[in-house]
Amino acid sequence: MATSAQHRPRAALFDLDGTLVDTNYLHVLTWWQALHQHGHEVPMARVHRAIGMGGDRILEHLLGEEHDHRDDQALRDAHHALYAAWFDSLPVLDRAPDLLREIAARGLRVILASSASADEVKAIRAALDVDEVIAGATSADDVDSSKPAPDLVCQALSLADVEPADAVFVGDTVWDVKAAARAGVTCIALLTGGISEAELTAAGPATVYPGPPELLHGLDSSPLAGSPRD
């Protein structure tokens, strides 16, 4: 009979914004500012619900499929410039580095899978300061379609060299849960992105935790449960 350890995942795939760093509301503010600069008045509550999508999808989601696309790149550039002002002071969520270290110590490959741009991912990695336990990272720059498309999750699986059944994705938005589901990967959702437990639960994750400290404390009973390295 196969042991329970053989059925445990061999890779942990992590979203970044709102999952490991407390940046969702920085994105809300800077997207709102960028939209405002270009004459679009979008309520911050709507912007918040769109966070987790990549820049290739968020504008269509917020402005509609029929909006004038000629300003799209200027809007993305404006958001990036506004958000980049925070690169040196990105707030890391409590116990997030400890969570990554503990998961890696249990023998799982830690892969970052974010809808952020490559330079945003670089800034977040610098803030987390745990590169020694990160086996790989992918960003919106590496795929054709960002979340809720499964491309980022599939790319992360490829980097980890595991099958979907051997991985767990950890995220904080409905878009994370949907992307994981479309890739056939179990998802853990965290409440640290400001999305309600009811909304996240309705999207269908395996379980929901308040944040990294609670997931770290409950690792042994979570979908990430695994044996420590020999």
DSSP for 1-55, written as a single string: ---GGGGS-SEEEE--BTTTBS-HHHHHHHHHHHHHHTT----HHHHHHHBTB-H
71 and 117 together in one domain: no
Instruction: With respect to residue 61, please indicate whether it lies within any of the assigned structural domains.
Output: yes
Q: Could you tell me the CA-to-CA distances from 7 to 3, 152, 166, 186 in Å, in that order?
A: 7, 24, 8, 13
pLDDT of residue 1: 36
Predicted confidence (pLDDT) at residue 42 exceeds the cutoff of 50 = yes
Rounded CA gap, 137 and 205, in Å?
Answer: 22
CATH of residue 66: 1.10.150
Q: How many domains does the chain have?
A: 2
- How does pLDDT run across 53-110, given as a tens digit for each residue? 887 789 999 999 889 989 999 999 999 999 999 999 999 999 999 999 999 999 999 9
Q: What value does the mean pLDDT of the chain take?
A: 93
CATH of residue 187: 3.40.50.1000
218: tokens are 């409950």
Mean pLDDT over 133-147 rounds to: 91
Q: Do 191 and 171 form a contact (C-beta atoms < 8 A)?
A: no
Residues in CB range of 72: below 8 A, 6 or more apart: 59
Residue 12 structural domain = 4-23+91-221
8 and 31 together in one domain: no
pLDDT of residue 3: 38
pLDDT of residue 226: 53
pLDDT of residue 56: 75
Rounded CA Rg of the chain: 17
126 and 180 together in one domain: yes
Mean pLDDT over 33-62 rounds to: 94
Predicted confidence (pLDDT) at residue 120 exceeds the cutoff of 60 = yes
pTM of the model: 0.93
